[in-house]
């Protein structure tokens, strides 16, 4: 990556936050943190909430580029990316294809399987009965997930048969395809991606059943361990895997890859986040700090990717 860029070279920047997705609350926090960081470095940055404005207003605002801090559907799935491309406005992060694939857990996993990358076995389930059949094939416990939602919204760790109905309803209520995924028992890790580099890994530990919405945003019992405790060689191998998973879906700029390692130390890819959380307590900023990059510098590096190379 080239050296620092003068703030005026970025021009007028729209920080897209909020939106209409289930993750609106998280997006507003991410966007506000990004906005403050950009302004602290002299960038002419402005809050823009797509839930309250038409694309024409964005086009007429005289913006030179957009920092996308929208999470979930409409912001992380290729929709806003495609809209910005129609008006010729450069934006941060992945393009339409990678954004759509990253948001769609089913198709992302199919692509990884085709590329020979390890991801837990799964089945698409269209009814409670099909979920029951998946339990017979994949065995309990299972992770039951809406295929196109983020922040663990609608996800259940299905442990006992008597909880099947509640797990199905929680996932199906989100209005998307539902997948039943083999549960991997072991350590959970996340790899932040910045440009062509995987940042130091973070190991996640929670006393909850799994790393759910509460563990991510509302409790103070989650442990974020960085350095992650692996040997240098093992960590480097997992960073290479995360980069391969990220690049396999044509992701670019920045993001995060989540995975588990089973009891034998074998890694299993879970998902890609193409617009991860960006508060100063989020995982990507945490990994960046371990790399010696403070929050404002991280935000500028992400925005710098929108400039002509």
Instruction: Report the residue count for the chain.
Output: 309
d(CA 91, CA 68): 7
Answer yes or no: 214 catalytic.
Answer: no
Catalytic residue among 18, 19, 23, 72, which? Answer: 23
Catalytic residue among 27, 30, 99, 273, which? Answer: 273
Tokens of 70: 């929208």
Answer yes or no: 258 catalytic.
Answer: yes
Answer yes or no: 169 catalytic.
Answer: no
Alpha carbon of residue 167 to chain centroid: 23
DSSP assigned state of 163: G
* Beta strands 178-182 and 186-194, pairing class: unpaired
Answer yes or no: 23 catalytic.
Answer: yes
Catalytic residue among 258, 282, 301, 305, which? Answer: 258
Catalytic residue among 102, 277, 282, 305, which? Answer: 277
Catalytic residue among 256, 282, 301, 305, which? Answer: 256
Catalytic residue among 27, 99, 151, 282, which? Answer: 151
Q: What 3-state class would DSSP assign to 189? A: strand
Answer yes or no: 277 catalytic.
Answer: yes
Catalytic residue among 213, 217, 253, 255, which? Answer: 217
Answer yes or no: 127 catalytic.
Answer: no
Which residues, including other chains, have CB under 8 Å from residue 44's CB and lie 6 or more apart? 7, 8, 10, 11, 12, 13
Q: In degrees, to the nearest 5, what angle opens at C-alpha 231 toward C-alphas 117 and 284?
A: 65
Answer yes or no: 47 catalytic.
Answer: no
Answer yes or no: 91 catalytic.
Answer: no
Catalytic residue among 77, 104, 271, 305, which? Answer: 271
List, by residue number, the catalytic residues.
23, 151, 217, 256, 258, 271, 273, 277
């Amino acid at each position: 990556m080239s050296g620092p860029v003068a703030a005026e070279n970025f021009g007028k920047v729209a920080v897209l936050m909020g939106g209409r997705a289930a993750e609106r609350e998280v997006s507003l926090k991410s966007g506000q943190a990004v906005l403050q960081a950009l302004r602290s470095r002299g960038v002419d940055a402005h809050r823009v909430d797509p839930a309250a404005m038409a694309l024409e207003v964005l086009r007429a605002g005289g913006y030179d580029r957009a920092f996308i801090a929208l999470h979930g559907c409409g912001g992380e799935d290729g929709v806003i990316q495609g809209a910005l491309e129609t008006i010729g406005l450069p934006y941060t992060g992945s393009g339409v294809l990678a954004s759509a694939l990253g948001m769609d857990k089913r198709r992302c996993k199919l692509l990884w399987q085709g590329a020979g990358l390890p991801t837990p076995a799964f089945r698409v389930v269209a009814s409670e009965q099909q979920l029951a059949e998946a339990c017979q094939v994949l065995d309990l416990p299972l992770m039951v997930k809406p295929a196109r939602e983020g922040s663990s919204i609608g996800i259940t760790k299905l442990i006992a048969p008597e909880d099947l109905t509640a797990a199905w309803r929680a996932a199906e209520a989100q209005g998307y395809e539902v997948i039943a995924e083999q549960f991997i028992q072991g350590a959970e890790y996340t790899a932040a991606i910045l440009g062509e580099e995987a940042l130091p890994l973070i190991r996640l530990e929670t006393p909850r059943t799994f790393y759910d919405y509460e563990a991510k945003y509302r409790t103070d019992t989650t442990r974020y361990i960085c350095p992650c405790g692996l040997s240098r060689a093992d960590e480097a191998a997992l960073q290479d895997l995360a980069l391969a998973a990220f690049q396999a879906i044509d992701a670019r700029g920045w993001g995060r890859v989540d995975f588990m390692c089973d009891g034998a130390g074998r890694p299993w890819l879970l998902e890609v986040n193409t617009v991860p959380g960006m508060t100063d307590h989020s995982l990507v900023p945490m990994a960046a700090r371990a790399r010696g990059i403070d929050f404002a510098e991280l935000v500028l590096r992400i925005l710098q990717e929108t400039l002509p190379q």
